[in-house]
Each structure stands twice: as structure tokens, then as C-alpha cells.
């Protein structure tokens, strides 16, 4: 019997692991599709733009004209005049497209370009100059941007759920720790609460009423609150009466669970002796992503600080706060292009940093959107009440 029970337990564990792997498989497949799409795009742009020699030839012709112009002006003009003539020549005839050298379009450079395309960062330091390259870029972005959004949303959901579970467990551990280490504090709090209730009971038992002078603003605010509550209660009463009339819940027979919520039939069968399912705690799982806003900001800025501290190890041109500024501008998809990475050997790490950072930004938005909406709702309520007080 023991061997049979052990075999059943092992089978259950294997089934659980298999089911978890099948749940993760679609998410992994989506991420792998983005990686494959980036690699394919890098190979395409490397073959298209890496073989282009037209801009390079025109750029050399322009440099030759500049050299000949300087040689002609050296004997007959001053240094100031030469500088002014060269400045005019640069402003009128120089084209930034000439800086797009084929040597930039290595596999790493092309892969980084693909990352800036489907993440919509677009630094502008590297871009296609040939007609096939421009057409390929448009078609690539039309598919790559939606795919990137799907990956960001999917990974953001996963990170949001993971962060919430970690926060709940850590919070529960702290509560257990405090309950064991501070028993005296809990006893004091219970004593204080009991003393407060005793005092309140004593006050109300003697019918003691404390009267204070109310100003006009307090009185108007009280009247507005009472009016709003009465109107809300009247609406709730009407809605409840409509539900009773529609569902015909006033009946002599047993109350079926499927009348109010058909989804309850999908739940496990009721225990013996229960007439209806226990609704205790119903709705507690609606606010599953209830994470403090301070913790969300800490995660985002910690990731930015991590990137800003690591990138200067290979990007030697970053000075001061340039690395942190670059990380913030990149993760917010602003991408001015004033500060860009130049070390081609680490373009892959930079691309992974950008994609993971955008997933973290998506996670931060998912965790904070309910709190932001609640803040806006409270703000508008305050404005409405202030407007009502002004009318009075």
C-alpha cells in the first residue's frame, strides 16, 4: 500500500509539473517568436544596407572637394575666412545620410537597429538609406511593433502577478514576525481599544451629548453628504426591487445558486448539510494587484539605477549622469538620440536591457493604474464638492 501511495504522489507531482509547463509554453513561445523575428530582421538589414556603397562614394567626393577648397584658400585667405567658407559648404552641401556607413550594419548593429524599430525608441543614429531597406523597414515595423506590444503586455502581466505574490508573502512574514516578537504591543493595543469602547459605552449610556458650534461650511457640507447618501440609498432600493421582480426570488422553494450567479455551478459540490455556498470572502480576489505605489516606483528606479551603474563599464563615453539619463529616455521610449551606445560588442545586452525594462514599465503601469484612477476619482469628487459649496 505504501508503494502504491508513493507512486500516486509521484504521478500527481509529475502531472502538476507538466500542467505548469504547458501553462508557461505559450508565454515562452511568444518571447521566442520575438527573438527569432529580431534575428531574422538583423540578417535582412545586414544584407541590404551592409552592401550599399553609394553613400560612401559620395561622401568621399565631398571630402575631396573640401580638401581642394582649403588648398585653394590657404594662400589667399585668412583662417577666419577659410572657416566661414567651410562652414557654408557644410551647411549647404553636407548630407547626414553620408554618415550611414555600410560598416555600421554588422549583425550586432543590425540587431540593435531592429530593437530600436519594434520598441519605437528610434534613436536616429542608424537608419536605412536604400529604397529596399526603407521598404523592408516599414514592413518590418508593421509586424514587429504589434508583436513587441504583445510580448510587453504578456511579460508585464507575469511580472505584476509575481510582484504581487512576493509582496503578499513578505508582508505575511512580517506580520507573523511582529506577532511573535511584539506580544506586549498587541496586548497594549487590545487594552487601549477595550478602554476606548468602554468609554464610548459609558458616554452613550448616560446620554451625554457634546455640542459644538458649527460654521456655515461644515453645515453645508453635512447637508450635501446627507443628500447624496439619501439619493444613493433610494437608487439602491429601486435597483434591488427591480432585481427581485425580474428574478422572482421571493419563492417558497429552495434558493438555487444558478439564479444569482451561474458561475457558481462550476465550483466544487456543496458539503453535506449546507443549503447554499458560503459567500464569506467573496470579492476579496478582485483587488489582487494591490501593491504600494512606493514599492512600484522603487522597482522602476532600481532598474534604471542598475542599468546606469552597469553600462559605463563598457560605454566609456558616458560621463556623469549620462548613463542614467540614457536609461530613462530609452525605457520611456522617448529616444532623443543625443546619447547612444557605441560599443557594438554589447549591443545584444543593451537590447535585452531595453526589452526587459519596457516589460517592467508595463508591469508598473498595471500595478499602479487602479491607484491612479482612484486618485483622479477622489480629486474630481473634491472639485465637485467645492463647486457645490461655492454655489451655496
User: Is this structure's pTM higher than 0.85?
Assistant: no
Cβ atoms of 179 and 66 closer than 8 Å: no
Residue 324's pLDDT is: 92
Which option is the CATH number for 29-168: 2.40.30.10, 3.40.1190.20, 1.10.3720.10, 1.10.287.70?
1.10.287.70
Tell me the mean pLDDT per 10 residues along the chain, length 392.
60 65 81 93 92 73 84 76 83 80 87 92 86 92 92 86 85 80 64 52 45 54 61 68 59 48 51 44 45 87 93 88 91 86 86 90 82 79 79 64
Say whether 293-391 and 29-168 share the same fold: yes
Residue 207's pLDDT is: 45
Cα of first residue to Cα of last residue in the chain, in angstroms, is 82
Q: Identify the H or E element spanning 261.
A: none
Helix %, strand %, coil % of the chain (to 5)? 75, 0, 25
Residue 138's pLDDT is: 94
Cα 382 → chain centroid: 28
- Is 1.10.287.70 the CATH number for 293-391? yes
Domains of the chain by residue range: 29-168, 293-391
DSSP string of 326-340, one letter each residue = HHHHHHTT---SSS-
Residue 271's pLDDT is: 52
**Distance between CA 340 and CA 240 in Å, rounded?**
62
Candidates 334, 327, 333; CA nearest to 300 is: 327
Q: In the chain, where does DSSP find H-type helix?
A: 2-49, 54-74, 79-93, 107-118, 131-181, 183-205, 216-247, 257-260, 293-310, 322-331, 347-391
Amino acid at each position: 500500500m505504501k508503494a502504491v501511495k508513493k507512486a500516486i504522489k509521484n504521478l500527481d507531482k509529475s502531472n502538476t509539473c507538466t500542467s505548469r509547463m504547458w501553462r508557461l509554453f505559450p508565454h515562452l513561445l511568444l518571447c521566442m517568436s520575438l527573438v527569432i523575428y529580431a534575428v531574422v530582421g538583423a540578417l535582412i538589414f545586414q544584407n541590404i544596407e551592409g552592401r550599399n556603397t553609394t553613400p560612401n562614394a559620395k561622401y568621399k567626393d565631398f571630402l575631396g572637394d573640401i580638401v581642394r577648397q582649403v588648398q585653394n584658400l590657404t594662400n589667399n585667405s585668412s583662417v577666419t575666412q577659410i572657416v566661414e567658407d567651410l562652414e557654408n559648404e557644410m551647411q549647404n552641401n553636407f548630407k547626414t545620410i553620408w554618415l550611414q556607413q555600410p560598416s555600421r550594419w554588422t549583425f550586432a548593429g543590425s540587431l540593435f537597429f531592429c530593437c530600436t524599430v519594434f520598441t519605437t525608441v528610434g534613436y536616429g543614429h542608424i537608419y536605412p538609406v536604400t529604397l529596399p531597406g526603407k521598404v523592408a523597414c516599414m514592413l518590418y515595423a508593421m509586424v514587429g511593433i504589434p508583436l513587441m506590444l504583445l510580448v510587453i503586455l504578456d511579460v508585464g502581466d507575469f511580472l505584476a502577478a509575481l510582484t504581487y505574490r512576493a509582496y503578499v508573502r513578505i508582508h505575511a512574514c512580517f506580520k507573523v514576525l511582529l506577532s511573535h516578537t511584539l506580544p506586549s504591543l498587541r496586548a497594549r493595543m487590545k487594552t487601549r481599544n477595550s478602554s476606548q469602547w468602554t468609554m464610548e459605552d459609558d458616554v452613550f449610556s448616560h446620554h451625554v451629548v457634546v455640542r459644538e458650534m458649527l460654521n456655515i461650511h461644515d453645515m453645508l457640507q453635512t447637508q450635501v453628504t446627507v443628500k447624496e447618501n439619501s439619493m444613493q440609498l433610494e437608487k439602491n432600493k429601486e435597483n434591488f426591487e427591480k432585481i427581485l421582480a425580474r428574478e422572482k426570488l421571493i419563492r417558497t422553494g429552495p434558493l438555487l445558486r444558478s439564479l444569482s450567479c451561474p458561475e457558481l455551478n462550476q465550483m466544487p459540490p456543496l458539503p453535506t448539510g449546507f443549503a447554499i455556498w458560503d459567500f464569506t470572502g467573496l470579492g476579496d480576489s478582485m483587488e489582487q494587484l494591490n501593491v504600494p505605489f512606493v514599492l512600484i516606483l522603487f522597482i522602476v528606479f532600481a532598474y534604471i539605477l542598475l542599468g546606469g551603474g552597469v553600462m559605463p563599464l563598457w560605454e566609456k563615453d558616458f560621463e556623469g549622469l549620462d548613463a542614467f539619463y540614457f536609461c530613462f529616455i530609452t525605457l520611456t521610449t522617448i529616444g532623443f538620440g543625443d546619447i547612444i551606445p557605441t560599443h557594438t560588442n554589447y549591443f545584444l545586452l543593451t537590447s535585452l536591457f531595453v526589452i526587459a525594462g519596457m516589460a517592467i514599465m508595463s508591469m508598473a503601469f498595471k500595478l499602479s493604474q487602479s491607484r491612479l484612477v482612484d486618485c483622479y476619482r477622489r480629486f474630481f469628487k473634491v472639485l465637485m464638492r467645492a463647486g457645490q459649496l461655492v454655489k451655496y
